[in-house]
Structure 1
Amino acid sequence: MTKRKLKNSLLSAEATGGDIAESGFQYQASLIASRVPYWLKHDGFTEAIQEALGDVEASFFVPERGICREFVEYKNHRLTPSEFWPEIERFWEMDKTSPEAYCKFVLACKDVSDDIKSMLNALRRVRDAYPFYQNASAIQNSSFSDFETIVNNLYQKEDVSNFLFDKVFFEIDLTDAENYAREKFRDALYNCFPELQNFTAKAGSEAFSNVAELIKNRRNKPIHRNDLELAITHAVESNYKLVKNIRLHTRSYVKNCV
């Protein structure tokens, strides 16, 4: 009997069947590069890998749960339901077979069909405001129930509304503009590390090129945090380090001995 390869296998069709033309791979490497400043902003970020199970995955150490990963898929076109829902199915199968492996799935594309877009708008509206009503369960429950109805009207195989709400995020803004990824990288870099705004625009552009080239040359191999930091700092100052102040909150306890 032939065993079906699971979708969370490095030898699955989804993992090995995505050979990309050189121009397409350069575009993808640029998009991945634009995420790097946000990864580096997190002290727990340790490494990333591309073209393994997905287009790119990032690994973070989270004290209360250990290693947690972000899984990202890029689609350089508009997604219709016939392509959108299989991507969600793949994410969900991966999460069910390895429930502790991933804390976040991201699907990035140029656009989606109108019915999917309405569902994503509902997801954003409910999820963004949900924490505000933490002591108003009636509002939370009725809002989620309405979102669940919208999802089930579009996708009737299984109820994926909880999975979408908890773990799946969408970026519907990709373009073919030549400087799109470079500008996203620059904005993210200055947002995450404001002190870098003192360096020249040329240095920021070189930092992006260094990171994108590093990513392009590391297919299916881990890219460590230090490698990404060096790619950026080599473009600005050789002795500059991407560091952030770390605040430790301590509390002393004095027992009453009287």
Structure 2
Amino acid sequence: MTENNKPTPSLLEPKSQGGDTAETGFDFQTCLILCKVPFWLSFEGFDSLIREGVADFEAKFFSPAEGITREALEAKNHHVTPKEFWAEVERFKELDEGSPGSFSKFTISCAGISDELKPLINGLRRIRDPQPFYDASSGVTVNSYADYVERVGKLEKDVEMAEFLYNKIQIEHNWNLISEEETANGMFQSQLQRHLPEYEDLPVKEIPNIFRSLLALVRSHKSRPITRLQIEKTMQSAISGKYRLEPKQVVISTEMEEVTKSEKALQFEWVSFFGGAERVYPSEEEWNSKLVPQLYETSKWLKSQRNTPRIELNGNRRISAAIAFGKVFSAVAGYTLDMNYRGERWSTDDHADSQTPNYTLTPTYVEGAGDRLLVTIGIMKENLASEVQTFTQNNDLSHLPKLHLFSSDPIVSAKQANATVEKIKREIAIVAGKIGAKQIDLFFAGPTHLALFLGYRSNALPPIQCYEWVSNNKYISTCFLK
């Protein structure tokens, strides 16, 4: 095999080793990395970076919906000419084709761009920025993209190149003030305060210490990954003791629509698991092969890359998904959850006190046969037990022992929710213990925050098979939580 037809990308090919030849003084590339660190850290899923991998530098991100994604960046401390620009685009295309799926985005970061390329760059911006406002099939979108392809064609590039450029490449052409350390320090401060609001009140005198510590970290890790934890530890260690910041909680969102790429929270794309207005849900197998593993993979990633166990939960989710989320990010796993519910924060560590009103919960037990316990929890839904009985009369759940828990009262606070969950758990545990239940078949009608809290406190209970309401007297089995 000749040098010309070796597979690409490789860490040992000349194009990947370009930065290994020499490094002196305060270089543009290192400074650019430091100035981008605050932006990367503003994304909850930022995982790590590497300098001098297959590109000048790369950033790695975790997404519950997509797993690991990467961005490759090339740094140019000058005005990029058309020849150089298209050479970089071709190189990115080689990387994308040679290692499909490794990179979700490629970026050219430079001090300026040739006037000849500006109509193309402006055209990209003009159709990308308003994109969320127009439907993909609208005449505005279709016609604009056709005009863009025409602009690319005038530069003697084909439709395939236009598509790759549009879908995969970002051009940052205003990095023209970071050639010197003093200037870079000021820009770093600006980026820090812009993207990480918790640093806004930090005394200005602390910023150079952070900058110099990060600079030393980056320089000492050439061609070696630098993790988010290393970066955050370095930043905090550089701050004087009395000014050190408390770890931020991790923001997670469960979405019933397609995820927004620019959203900085960790997003679960659960469109299908929300079911829509018609409540058309995936099969039980898909709940257990997609939704549940996503939760565990996210928990695993958080434990390896984030230094806080506190989670802020936003978005919407069905009952089964709420129970599953609580089960995975549970008390025994060391997490604390803050759920945003109609503008209020419901926290799993907001425990009941002497002022918390008692919550009346009425249990009814119906004897049956088998080593599974069917449980219904009806909060302000009196007919849940009878509805579930109608649903189960012609299936293999009909003969099971049943525990019906009902209350006609609303849950008025997080404190009351936490106390109520302890009552629910105790009632279930007592009956499950008496009959030797190896599984709970759970039918829940009530607020999602209570479902979340129940999952969160469900340790020591047998495995739970969840069910989701579809229509009158009709349910489907969803996730199985061990």
Corresponding residue of 1:103: 104
Distance 1:237 1:177, change over 3 A: closer
SS in 2 for 1:169: strand
Secondary structure at 2:144 match in 1: helix
TM-score by length of 1: 0.91
Partner of 1:187: 190
Residue of structure 2 in register with 1:67 after alignment:
68
After TM superposition, list the pairs within 5 Å mapping 1:29-108 onto structure 2. Answer: 29-108=30-109
Following superposition, the deviation at residue 242 of structure 1 comes to: 4.2
Q: Which moved more, 1:39-48 or 1:242-251?
A: 242-251
Corresponding residue of 1:217: 220
Q: Name whichever structure is richer in strand by fraction.
A: 2
Asked if structure 2 preserves the Cα contact closer than 8 Å seen for 1:7 and 1:14, the reply is no
Distance in 1 between residues matched to 2:63 and 2:149, nearest whole Å: 30
- 1:213-234 CA distance string (max 9 Å, x none): 2111110001011110012112
In 2, the alpha carbon distance for the partners of 1:154 and 1:168 equals 17
Would the alpha carbon gap of residues 226 and 241 (structure 1) be closer, same or farther in structure 2, given more than 3 Å must change? farther
1:230 and 2:295 are equivalent in the alignment: no
Choose the corresponding residue for 2:313, options 228, 242, 248.
Answer: 248
Paired with 1:242 and 1:54, the residues of 2 have a C-alpha distance of 31
Q: CA deviation at 1:107?
A: 0.2
Q: What is the rounded CA distance, in whole Å, between the counterparts of 1:7 and 1:37 in structure 2?
A: 31
SS in structure 1 of the partner of residue 160 of structure 2: coil
Amino acid at match of 1:22: T
Give the structure 1 partner of residue 125 of structure 2: 124
Distance 1:65 1:233 in 2: 30
Checking the alignment, whether the CA contact within 8 Å between 2:136 and 2:142 is kept in structure 1 is: no
Residue 39 of structure 1 deviates from its aligned partner by 1.3
Structure 1 residues 7 and 202, CA, compared in 2 at 3 Å: closer, same or farther?
farther
Once the two structures are superposed, residues 60-88 of structure 1 have per-residue CA deviations (whole angstroms, 9 ceiling, x without a partner) of 11111111001111011111111110100
CA–CA distance in structure 1, aligned partners of residues 183 and 156 of structure 2: 33
Do structure 1's residue 17 and structure 2's residue 18 form an aligned pair?
Answer: yes
Q: Is the 8 A contact 1:81 1:113 kept in 2?
A: yes
Alpha-carbon displacement from aligned partner over 1:186-229 (angstroms, at most 9, x marks no partner): 12211222122211111112111111221111100010111100
- Could you say which residue in structure 1 is the equivalent of 2:201? 198
**Contact between 2:71 and 2:104, CA under 8 Å: does it hold in 1?**
yes
For 1:143 and 1:15, the matched residues in 2 are separated by: 36
Q: Gapped runs of 5+ residues in structure 1?
A: none
Amino acid corresponding to residue 51 of structure 2 in structure 1: Q
Matched residue SS, 1:13: coil
**More displaced stretch, 31-40 vs 12-21:** 12-21
Percent of aligned pairs with the same amino acid: 34
- Structure label with greater radius of gyration: 2
CA contact (8 A) 1:76 1:109 kept: yes
Distance 1:226 1:41 in 2: 14
Select between 128-137 and 51-60 the one with higher mean Cα deviation: 128-137
Give the SS at the match of 1:179. Answer: helix
Give the ranges of 4+ consecutive aligned residues of structure 1 lying more than 6 Å apart after TM superposition: none
Contact residue 149 and residue 159 of structure 2 kept, 8 A: no
Give ranges in structure 2 of 5+ residues lacking alignment: 252-311, 320-443, 446-468, 475-482
Higher RCO structure, 1 or 2 (CA under 8 Å, sep 6+): 1
| Inter-CA distance 242–186: structure 2 relative to 1 (3 Å threshold) | farther
Partner of residue 168, structure 2 = 167
Aligned-pair distance for 1:145? 0.6
Instruction: Report the Cα distance in structure 1 between the residues aligned to 2:104 and 2:157, rounded to whole angstroms.
Output: 25
Indicate the residue corresponding to 2:264 in structure 1.
none
| Mapped contact 1:7–1:90 kept (Cα < 8 A) | no
